[in-house]
Amino acid sequence: MRSTIELINVSQEFAAQSSAQKSTVALASVNMHIDKKEIVALVGPSGCGKSTVLNIIAGFVRPTSGQVLFDGSVLSGIGPERLVVFQTPALFPWQTVRDNVTFGPRMRGVAIAEYQPLAERIIADVGLTDFQYHYPYQLSGGMRQRTQIARALVNKPEVLLLDEPFGALDAQTRLEMQEMLLGIWERYQATILFITHDVEEALFLSDRMYVLSARPGRVQREIKVPFERPRRYSLFGDEAFARLKAEILAMLHGKPDAEHAA
């Protein structure tokens, strides 16, 4: 089967801005793929280039070398079929939740009759019906992320790209959001790539995960997450889950027992 997204030997070097700086090699020959309807997690130490991978797939950044394929053809720029959920919610502060959510279709001239019912359903799905006429500054952090997710979903994207979407939330809210994301994934059949620094979150949500090495980032390991769906929180107490988690953590910290990883 052809992958939805494919990165082939992708490298990224950022030029120095002044003579006092050196150029930064963020990614070195990264190969990865994301298949249709898959949830893929990207973990790795801070500064290893996770956001850069996401920016490249979104088309915000053009890789220094290598190839990015989308549905089998060379990726061309930014597009609403690959939508980003930003780590710090990038909502339009002068618009209500509802206007934020419908922003994409409105700007692209989609007929109201076409997006309105969908928008309403998605706002309900992310649990914001009672807050749809509120402004972003009147929302909690979790609600802002829900709004961002709804704003993306309304465009029926093929791929959702989430950059540490729940990183800034408290543990309780994070669990709720993870559950919501799984619900949405089932209902809307999206392909999802998400970045996280939380190994448990990656194991709970994803079908596969990529572990990147410290900078320059390269794929250190690809892990198939073996747990069956639908997944429940009881998985956190599962022995296999705990073992896999420990292995990945060891790998991230460069300990020798990384050798025994699955």
Partner 1 sequence: MVIYRTYRWLSWLTGGLLFVLWTIVTNLGWVDPVLLPSPQTMFHTTVDFFSNGYAGNSALNHVMASVFRTFTGLAGGIVFGIPIGLLIGYYPAANAVLGPMFSFIRPVPPIAFIPLVILYFGIGEFPKILLIGTAAFWYVVLNTSNGVRSVPIDLIRAALNLGVKPHQLVFRVIFPAALPQVMTGVKTATALSWAIVVAAELVAAQMGLGYMIMDAATFFRVPYVYLGIIIIGIIGLALEFLTNAIETRLLHWRGR
Options 24, 29, 31, 64; binder of ligand ATP; rule CB under 6 A: 24
Tokens encoding 228 = 């069956």
Which residue, 7 or 48, has its beta carbon nearer to ligand ATP?
48
Tell me phi and psi for residue 162, to 5 degrees. -115, 125
Q: Which of 86, 188, 227, 236 is the binder for partner 1 (CB under 8 A)?
A: 86
For Mg ion, what does the binding mask look like between residues 29 and 68, x meaning CB under 5 A? ----------------------x-----------------
Which of 2, 47, 170, 240 binds ligand ATP (CB under 6 A)? It is 47
Query: Applying CB under 6 A, does 211 fall inside the site for ligand ATP?
Result: no
What are the CA-CA distances from residue 150 to residues 34, 91, 124, 262 (Å)? 22, 11, 9, 36
Q: Which residues contact 153 (CB under 8 A, 6 or more apart)?
A: 122, 160, 184, 188, 190
Decide: is 84 part of the binding site for partner 1 (CB under 8 A): yes
When the beta carbons of 51 and 102 are compared against Mg ion, the nearer one is 51
- Per residue, the 3-state secondary structure of 59-110, as one string, reads CCCCCCEEEEEECCEECCCCCCCEEEECCCCCCCCCCCHHHHHCHHHHHCCC
Instruction: Enumerate residues 86-125 that contact Mg ion by CB under 5 A.
Output: none
Could you say whether residue 68 binds ligand ATP (CB under 6 A)?
A: no
**Binding-site ranges for Mg ion (CB under 5 A):** 51
